[in-house]
Structure 1
Amino acid sequence: MIGKVDPERLETVFSNTGAPDDDVVVGPAYGEDAAAIRVGEQLLVANTDPVSLAAERIGEIGIHVACNDVAASGGEPRWLTAAVFLPNDDLLEPVVSQLDTAAREAGVAIVGGHTEYAPDRDRPLVCLSCLGLADEYVPTGGADPGDVLVLTKGAGIEGTAILATDFREESGLPREITDRGAALFSELSVLPEARVLREYATAMHDPTEGGLVDGALELAVASGVVARIERDRVPVRGPTRELCAAMGVDPLKMFGSGALLAAIPQGEVDGALTELDERGIEAAAIGEVGAGEPALDLDGERIAEPVRDDLYGLWE
């Protein structure tokens, strides 16, 4: 069994949250990837995320995935703790070097964690917790009917970089294409666009496992709305299309870190897109939010249950 626990089983987690605390503004909830805790006049935004299957750039991926959840919740990432489990000593220097480099690029400090050898594993495991401060929390579950769905950069950016490195040989594609795909590792952070869109959005979410399809579904369910998306409006990079075609993967159903999904009131969309463009950030309106039984409507197909990330089949 690989992947997230299904929403029904997650209720077991959500019903066991320890002692009550009045300063917890946002706690565990489906689709909400970060908590919000009242600290003085500000909110402390915190999350935890593991990376366990991608091997070649696992430290870099881990930093960005953790920071993205805080940024997508309206926070400014500041501090990280990292738990690192390694199958052998050869990976120690590469993994911690990746963590250090990516954290410096994101402007966050690694303040603690845990490191140990786990020889029973065939791949490293990195689990990071990120904390940051926010004046206002932006939830996953804040979208309203009439909002427009905006996606930055494109679908499947993280998945593309993984395919181009972990599955370079299996793809059978020319090195020029896999190199372009691997270069997308440099675009995993959503901090720049989150700083723009948090001023406009009613809801934000970064699609990770399960890609845009799962991310949009989580936003819809958390908000109690229907997310309507047209596939043809979703930006997909050239290397993403070629690698996905070669490996039999749907770009909308694979790891999507690097893109930020936002629900924006219709009257604010032009301003948000203009500001993103002025900062050199690609973005597109890909759909709308409607009323109804919570689900994702993808080109008329109703999706109400989480999908399994297409990359999992490649690792099995």
Structure 2
Amino acid sequence: MKDNKNNSILLSHGDGGVKTGRLISEIIGPALKNNILDRLEDSAIIPCRGAKAAFTTDSFVVSPLFFPGGDIGKLCVCGTINDLVTSGCRPAALSLSFIIEEGLDINVFKKVLESIKNTLEEAGEGIKIVTGDTKVVEKGNADKLFINTSGIGFIEDGPGISPSNIKEGDNIIINGNIADHGICILNCRQEFGFKADIKSDCAPLNSLVKDIKDAAGSGLHALRDATRGGLARVLIELSGSSKMNFDIYQDKIPIQRQTRGICEFLGMDPLYIANEGKMVVFAEEKNSIRILDAMKKNRYGKHSAIIGRVKGIKDKNRNASVTLITELGTKRVLDLHYSEQLPRIC
């Protein structure tokens, strides 16, 4: 890779920033190139004997394994379901594979399994674990427990949901407070001694997306869950793939006071900090209030807000961009970060 003189994988290649993008575009993408993978969406839609199926995969290496609001078991279920529903599908089944470090307390493993079961029940809709695998490696060759999941869902009749459908004039909506998950993990690691009571936002968002679809009709254009790299990464990626400019209003972005305070103290930008229960919605302006009302009635969307607008492209010779309108009224173009703020947050 052009930015890596040592020719080795760095922590920053896994944080959702510039180096992650280059790892995908320069190494992984060319090696595995095909017309479905090239779209780089959270779940791939594939033909399935006349129907359409959505398929996704993810791996989880969070440290610590347990944290306020969740654990690696809850995280793996929520992360996979949330990736699936960004395509508008109904999640059906998940695979579940463990890589376990020799010496892991069996009671810890049982606790993770119980959390997986409880999260599937929370998600509902009959979603099941239908296949899996377990490997144990020598002590020191992994850190306690890693999980890989894949998920499949089915696309029901209705308008397509894809970044390619984003249109000028769309409103941009998010379902609540940003940056809680990343700051929760940081706080759990006790690197700075904060006594803040911040919980991860980890949640399965399939019921929220169903409510959004029911309220939106044909006015829903795109969905994306804001995980690694935070809200900023999602906006920058979708601006690029849709070739549209976005204006985002800082004073409209929901964030808890404690989370904001820790970010300011550490000099961290909450826009770039991971979430595990946040969905970014692109919808026609005329349907936005109805969608917003539906989101606020869902348990996972009580603090939903319209945070921006799709502006379109004025100069086709320039790349699309995301502009943050700050609380002072100044403007800042958002760029992907080159180095990690928080490794192993999911």
Runs of at least 5 residues in structure 2 that lack an aligned partner in the other structure:
1-9, 314-318, 326-330
Secondary structure at the aligned position of 1:66 is classed as helix
Corresponding position of 1:73: 87
Following TM superposition, by how much is the alpha carbon of 1:189 offset from its aligned partner in structure 2, in angstroms?
Answer: 2.3
**Deviation of the 1:241 alpha carbon:** 2.3
How far 1:65 moved relative to its partner?
0.7
Q: Say which SS state the counterpart of residue 244 (structure 1) adopts.
A: helix
1:158 deviates by 2.4
Return the match for 1:132 from 143, 153, 156.
153
Q: Is the 8 A contact 1:211 1:309 kept in 2?
A: no
Q: 1:52 to 1:31 in 2, by over 3 A?
A: same
Give the greater-gyration-radius structure (CA): 2
One-letter identity of the residue aligned with 2:176: K
Whether 1:228 aligns to 2:228 is: no
1:291 aligns with 312
Q: Aligned to 2:80, what secondary structure does the other structure show?
A: helix
State TM-score, norm by structure 2.
0.78
Change (3 A) 1:173 1:75: same
Match of 2:207, SS state, is helix
Aligned partners of 1:205 and 1:7: how far apart in 2? 17
Deviations 1:213-251 (A, max 9, x none): 101111111211122212221000234224434554322
1:204 paired to 2:213: no
> How far did residue 283 of structure 1 move?
1.0
Q: Within the alignment, does 1:84 sit opposite 2:98 as a pair?
A: yes
Question: Does residue 162 of structure 1 match 2:202?
Answer: no
Aligned match for 2:293, one of 271, 274, 285: 274
Distance in 2 (alpha carbons) for counterparts of 1:190 and 1:247: 30
Deviations 1:269-310 (Å, cap 9, x if unpaired)? 111112223345231111111223222222322234455452
Distance 1:307 1:64, change over 3 A: farther
Aligned to 1:46, what secondary structure does the other structure show?
strand
Alpha carbons of structure 1 residues 279 and 89: separation in structure 2 relative to 1, 3 Å: closer
Contact preservation (8 Å) 2:98, 2:146: yes
Distance 1:188 1:238, change over 3 A: farther
Q: Distance in 1 between matches of 2:289 and 2:147?
A: 39
Q: Percent identity?
A: 20
Q: What is residue 23 of structure 1 aligned with on the other side?
A: none
Contact 1:78–1:132, Cα closer than 8 Å, also in 2: yes
Match of 2:62 among 27, 43, 53: 53
Are the aligned partners of 1:253 and 1:309 in contact in 2 as well (CA < 8 Å)? no
2:165 matches 1:146: no
Residue 7 of structure 1 and its aligned partner are, at CA, apart by 3.1
1:311 aligns with 2:325: no
Determine the C-alpha separation between the residues in 1 that align with 2:339 and 2:291. 32
User: 1: distance between equivalents of 2:50 and 2:274?
Assistant: 35
CA contact (8 A) 1:217 1:306 kept: no
Any conservation in 2 of the 1:80–1:109 contact (CA below 8 Å)? yes
3-state DSSP of counterpart to 1:150: strand
Amino acid at match of 2:185: I
Contact preservation (8 Å) 2:232, 2:336: no
Equivalences, count: 300
1:29 partnered with 2:38: yes
- Quickly say closer, same or farther: Cα 1:129–1:288, change in 2 above 3 A: same
The question of whether the paired residues in 1 share the 8 Å contact of 2:104 and 2:144 is answered with no
CA, structure 1 residues 170+8, in 2 after alignment: closer, same or farther (shift >3 Å)? closer
**3-state secondary structure, aligned to 2:163:** coil
For residues 141 and 295 of structure 1, the distance between their equivalents in structure 2, rounded to whole angstroms, comes to 16
Query: What is the root-mean-square deviation in Å for CA atoms of aligned residues?
Result: 2.5
TM-score by length of 1: 0.85
302, 311, 316: which one aligns with 2:333: 302
- Structure 1 residues 190 and 242 mapped into 2: Cα distance closer, same or farther (>3 Å)? farther
